[in-house]
Amino acid sequence: MKRRTLLISMIALLLFSSSAWAAGDESASRIRSYDSGSLIQSDGSLWLWGYNQSVPTRVEDKPNVVRTFSNIIQEGDLIFTLQDHSAWYVPRNNISGSVKFISLEGLPNIINVRIMNDHVLALSAEGTVLSADRIENGGNFAPFQTLSGIDEVANIDSYYEERPDYEERLIFLKKDGSVWKNTRSLQGFEPVPSLKDITAISKNIALKKDGTVWTWPKVFEKNATPSEVLSASQIQALSDIKIIKTNGSANLAIDRQGRLWFWGETVTGYSDNTTYHNENTPVLLSGVKDVKDAFFAERSILALTTAGNVYVASLDGEKLPSNAPFTLLAKNIQSIKAGLRHVIMQKVDGALWGWGVNKHAQLGIGDYEFLYSSPVPVQKPILVRLNGSPVSLSSGVITRNGQAFIPLRSVFDKLGAEIAYDFNNKIAKIDQSKAEDHPVFLEINFKTSQAKVNGKAVKLTNPPFLVNGIGYLPLRLISETLGAKVDWIQKEDTIEITTK
């Protein structure tokens, strides 16, 4: 009886109420940590966005998340660990409707993860490297085992070598400051000569304790000797460096004066006419000062200053001159997490903002507009509870113009209604006609925003909309006299639906 009464109340809420429910003012951020396509809230809940989740969407069956590792294989991929020490892999570079979780067995307290072809490498806080093979025809992985021949590791990275075919090469920074490379197919490991007292690695670049930067080649002749393959040389133009960054083709360095240096590839043209131009000598970029951190995204450099300002410069062109212009992009930013083609920035008030390519909803704004050249706010993670229990949503709550919209199927499925959707005509039908009393049949046309209840046309004050094939309806105030109640719990960012 309660389910049927609540269904009637929800339809009345969606169609007839004249007082719109608003999301309320921004509450203090409850985000404990975030990445380029996920966040962990203070309660340990994990929220994902991208691909079929256009806004942050709560993962219901994985509580107490401790840490995430993103962009493991391709942009969007994720590994996360729980408080019970279990680890899970989430392949996100697909368009399937549901999110897939693959268990990774036998992992301790990991601090870094790398996937190399059919192998997964995980680094524990104790410096142990563990390896697992991908199981064919299932996408799963075998249990992790300690990788022999390498220990006391502080960090892992990887890059591609060409000799003459491309082969991924793993790099291990050991706690004693030495750097090691794997031989073919992880059969062994060998140190890179000249690399001692190393404090950071980024693909084939290393930073020494004395502030010098070293590199070794990625391209070799077919018959290259072992000494050629392992030779490292100092980049003479760089000194007193504290941070190094690379995307594999372009490189950045920040010195202790907060100055930004660039060397590597710039680009001209698009698609089949794309041309890359390489500059091996580092260039001091005078257009930005007091740099705290720097990132690559798509064809841009982003620089975060100590004052919390973010500046952007383009990599388009045959070269990047020392006076390349940097444009102010955002203020009051405390940190940035970068994907390949976008960034997520956290402001000092805790709010997340996105910038860049949004083809697969990487910015979590609630649409699939290809590109945003100005920062946009990531949608706030909002929980929906029905009688105290979280409602599992196919995609999260979207707020537009201060109003909350919920995915139609997720909520009405929970209420026991039968739902059908005509993809050609964009018409949704919600059927509760089998109820013994007060049968309800709701029809919504997403093309015209017209709606019918039990065959009678009604007017929608706030029109519904579709996002990537998911129908969204506005959430309205429910009068207690209709049998249910909706409350906005601002301090918890929660919509609470309660039956009487």
DSSP string of 135-151? PTTT--BPPPEEPTT--
pTM of the shown model: 0.88
User: Which residues does 314 contact at the CB level (< 8 Å), separation at least 6?
Assistant: 299, 300, 301, 324
Contact assessment for residue 441 and residue 433, using Cβ atoms and an 8 Å cutoff: yes
pLDDT of res. 330: 98
DSSP string of 61-92? T--SEEEEEE-SSSTT-EEEEETTS-EEEE--
Instruction: Specify the DSSP class assigned to residue 20.
Output: B
CA distance 57 to 65: 14
Buried b (16+ CB within 10 A) or exposed e, 241-258: bebbbbbeebbbbbbeee
Instruction: Specify the DSSP class assigned to residue 476.
Output: B
Alpha helix locations (H) across 279-434?
408-414
Q: Of the candidates 352, 402, 463, 486, which has an alpha carbon nearest to the alpha carbon of residue 31?
A: 352
Q: What are φ and ψ of residue 410, in 5° steps?
A: -55, -45
Buried b (16+ CB within 10 A) or exposed e, 111-131: bbbbbbeebbbbbbeebbbbb
Residue with tokens 């509450």: 27
Q: What are φ and ψ of residue 413, in 5° steps?
A: -60, -40
Q: How many of the other CB atoms lie within 10 Å of CB of 454? A: 13
Cα 254 off chain centre by: 25
Contact assessment for residue 7 and residue 440, using Cβ atoms and an 8 Å cutoff: yes
Cα 142 off chain centre by: 26
Buried b (16+ CB within 10 A) or exposed e, 33-55: bbbbbbbbbeeebbbbbbbbbbb
- Domain borders along the chain are 2-23+382-499
Round to the nearest angstrom and report the end-to-end CA distance of the chain.
11
Pairing of strands 383-386, 389-390: antiparallel
pLDDT of res. 263: 98
Query: Angle at Cα 136 formed by Cα 131 and Cα 137, nearest 5°?
Result: 140
Contact assessment for residue 287 and residue 326, using Cβ atoms and an 8 Å cutoff: yes
CA distance 319 to 296: 16
CA distance 89 to 140: 9
| Residues written for the chain | 500
CA distance 131 to 399: 43
CA distances for 126 relative to 67, 157, 189, 294, 412, angstroms: 17, 17, 19, 29, 48
pLDDT of res. 95: 54
pLDDT of res. 441: 78
Pairing of strands 333-338, 46-50: unpaired
CA distance 500 to 497: 10
pLDDT < 70 regions, the chain:
1-28, 71-75, 93-98, 117, 135-139, 164, 185, 221-229, 415, 432-439, 476-484, 499-500
Q: Of the candidates 193, 151, 145, which has an alpha carbon nearest to the alpha carbon of residue 172?
A: 151
Contact assessment for residue 276 and residue 288, using Cβ atoms and an 8 Å cutoff: no
CA distance 137 to 403: 45
Per-residue tokens: 117: 């072809």
Instruction: Specify the DSSP class assigned to residue 133.
Output: E
Could you tell me the fold of the domain covering 2-23+382-499? Copper Amine Oxidase; Chain A, domain 1 (3.30.457)
pLDDT of res. 38: 95
Per-residue tokens: 399: 């707020």
pLDDT of res. 226: 62
User: Which residues does 150 contact at the CB level (< 8 Å), separation at least 6?
Assistant: 129, 172, 174, 180, 189
Q: CA dihedral defined by 431, 100, 203, 335, rounded to 10 degrees?
A: 50
